[in-house]
Structure 1
Amino acid sequence: MASPSSRYDLTGRTALVTGAGGLLGRQHVAALSEAGARVVVTEINLAQAEAAIAALKEAAPAADLIALALDVTAQDSVRAASEQLAGRGVTVDILVNNAAIDPKVTSSPGVMHSSRFEAFPVPQWQTEIAVGLTGAMLCAQEFGGQMARRGRGVILNIASDLGVIAPDQRLYRQPHVAREEEQPVKPVTYSVIKHGLIGLTKYLATYWADHGVRVNAISPGGVFNNQDPAFVERLTRLIPMGRMAEVDEYRAAVQFLCSDASSYMTGQNLVMDGGRSVW
Structure 2
Amino acid sequence: MNISNNLFSLENKNILITGSAGLLGKMHAEAIMAFGGNVILTDIDIEKVKNLSHDLNQKYVNQSIYYQMDITSEQSVLNVFNELKEKGIFVDTLINNAACNPAVGAVGMKANNRLENLDFDLWSKDLDVSLKGSVICSKIFGTEMSKRNFGNIINISSDLGIIAPDQRLYYKEGLPDDQQDVKPVSYSITKHGIIGLTKYLATYWADKGVRSNSISPGGVFNNQNTLFLSNVAKKIPLGRMANANEYQGAIIFLCSDASSYMNGANLVIDGGRSIW
Q: In structure 1, what is the equivalent of residue 238 of structure 2?
A: 241
- Per the TM alignment, residue 226 of structure 1 is displaced from its structure 2 partner at its CA by 2.4
- Per the TM alignment, residue 64 of structure 1 is displaced from its structure 2 partner at its CA by 1.5
Q: TM-score, normalised by structure 2?
A: 0.95
Question: Which runs of no fewer than 5 residues in structure 2 stay unpaired?
Answer: none
Question: Which runs of no fewer than 5 residues in structure 1 stay unpaired?
Answer: none
Return the alpha-carbon distance in structure 1 between the equivalents of residues 109 and 149 of structure 2.
Answer: 50
- Per the TM alignment, residue 218 of structure 1 is displaced from its structure 2 partner at its CA by 0.3
2:209 equivalent among 194, 199, 212: 212
Post-superposition Cα deviations, 1:97-127, rounded to whole Å, max 9, x if no partner, equal 000111135468xxxx730011110111001
Q: In structure 2, what is the equivalent of residue 17 of structure 1?
A: 17
Letter aligned with residue 237 of structure 1: K
Matches within 5 A, 1:154-169: 154-169=152-167
Gap change, CA 1:45 and 1:243, over 3 Å in 2: closer
Post-superposition Cα deviations, 1:163-199, rounded to whole Å, max 9, x if no partner, equal 010000000011131x101000011111111100000
Post-superposition Cα deviations, 1:141-161, rounded to whole Å, max 9, x if no partner, equal 000110011000110000000
Q: In structure 1, what is the equivalent of residue 88 of structure 2?
A: 89
Q: In structure 2, what is the equivalent of residue 122 of structure 1?
A: 120
Please say if residues 20 and 41 of structure 1, whose CA atoms lie closer than 8 Å, have aligned partners that are also in contact. Answer: yes
- Per the TM alignment, residue 56 of structure 1 is displaced from its structure 2 partner at its CA by 3.3
Q: Which moved more, 1:80-89 or 1:61-70?
A: 61-70
RMSD: 1.5
Identity across the alignment (%) = 46
Please say if residues 107 and 183 of structure 1, whose CA atoms lie closer than 8 Å, have aligned partners that are also in contact. Answer: no
Query: Would you say 1:259 and 2:260 are equivalent positions?
Result: no
Please say if residues 169 and 186 of structure 1, whose CA atoms lie closer than 8 Å, have aligned partners that are also in contact. Answer: yes
Post-superposition Cα deviations, 1:7-31, rounded to whole Å, max 9, x if no partner, equal 2111111000000000000011111
Please say if residues 57 and 63 of structure 2, whose CA atoms lie closer than 8 Å, have aligned partners that are also in contact. Answer: no
Letter aligned with residue 38 of structure 2: R
Q: TM-score, normalised by structure 1?
A: 0.94
Please say if residues 112 and 182 of structure 2, whose CA atoms lie closer than 8 Å, have aligned partners that are also in contact. Answer: no
Q: In structure 1, what is the equivalent of residue 72 of structure 2?
A: 73
Return the alpha-carbon distance in structure 1 between the equivalents of residues 270 and 258 of structure 2.
Answer: 21
Q: Which moved more, 1:223-232 or 1:137-146?
A: 223-232
Q: In structure 1, what is the equivalent of residue 188 of structure 2?
A: 191
Return the alpha-carbon distance in structure 2 between the equivalents of residues 159 and 55 of structure 1.
Answer: 27
